């Protein structure tokens, strides 16, 4: 096995390449890897080994986060297939999706103005349900149909919703402060 710090993250974790993920296995291998490379294991080693440990630990953390978070995992899979979905953000999104986006934004703005935490939480729950549907679509496109162009569109939709989710999260936090 050729161990290269730049190798495919799925290979590093010994997981099949795909959107469907064995989360327990990912967590387990992550811990095995960190228990080997973490700087805490090298506090009295030489400078080379310390530097190496730092690089590896940072890389393992990055790879773990990429595979763990569905949106990052989808982006990573697309990039492995030579698609950079972000370059195409100006691609036209389906009309009904854009309309739905505007409705989401209005709902967020209203709840925010009313400083209504209950409505914000309800929005968050609805958003998560909608994202779950899109993730199932992405899984079918990436793992079964291998239709990466369709997956890229789904990913862009998810990107919109993810951003919205962050804004809702931020609004809830601000309200609590």
Among 31, 69, 105, 146, binds other proteins (CB under 8 A): 31
CA 41 to CA 75: how far, in whole Å? 32
Tell me if 132 contacts other proteins by CB under 8 A: no
The residue with tokens 């967020």 is 108
Q: Give the residue among 111, 103, 101, 97 at the shortest CA–CA distance from 171.
A: 111
Q: Rule CB under 8 A: say whether 89 interacts with other proteins.
A: no
Distance between CA atoms of 83 and 76, rounded to whole angstroms? Answer: 9
Contact stretch for other proteins (CB under 8 A) within 35-43, 77-85, 102-110, 140-148: 35-43
Q: Which tokens hold the place of 172?
A: 């809830």
Residue 56 near other proteins by CB under 8 A: yes
Q: Is 76 in the site for other proteins (CB under 8 A)?
A: no
Whole-number Å distance between alpha carbons of 147 and 151: 6
Cβ 50 to other proteins, closest distance in Å?
A: 9
CB of 149 to other proteins, least distance (A): 26
Nearest C-alpha neighbor of 105 from the set 174, 160, 172: 160
> Which residues make up the interface to other proteins (CB under 8 A)?
1, 3, 14, 28-29, 31-49, 51-54, 56-58, 61-62, 64-65, 169, 172-173, 176-177
């Amino acid at each position: 096995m050729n161990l290269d710090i730049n190798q495919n993250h799925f290979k590093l974790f010994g997981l099949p390449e795909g959107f469907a993920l064995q989360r327990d296995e990912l967590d387990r291998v992550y811990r095995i890897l960190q228990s080997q490379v973490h700087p805490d294991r090298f506090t009295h080693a030489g400078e080379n080994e310390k530097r190496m440990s730092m690089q590896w630990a940072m890389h393992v953390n990055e790879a773990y986060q990429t595979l763990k978070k569905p949106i990052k995992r989808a982006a990573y899979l697309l990039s492995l297939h030579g698609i950079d979905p972000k370059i195409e953000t100006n691609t036209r999104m389906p009309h009904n999706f854009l309309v739905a986006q505007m409705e989401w934004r209005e709902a967020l703005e209203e709840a925010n103005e009313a400083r209504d935490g209950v409505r914000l939480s309800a929005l968050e729950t609805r958003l998560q349900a909608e994202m779950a549907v899109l993730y199932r679509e992405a899984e079918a496109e990436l793992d079964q149909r291998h239709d990466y162009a369709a997956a890229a569109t789904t990913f862009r939709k998810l990107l919109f919703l993810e951003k919205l989710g962050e804004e809702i999260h931020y609004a809830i936090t601000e309200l609590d402060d």
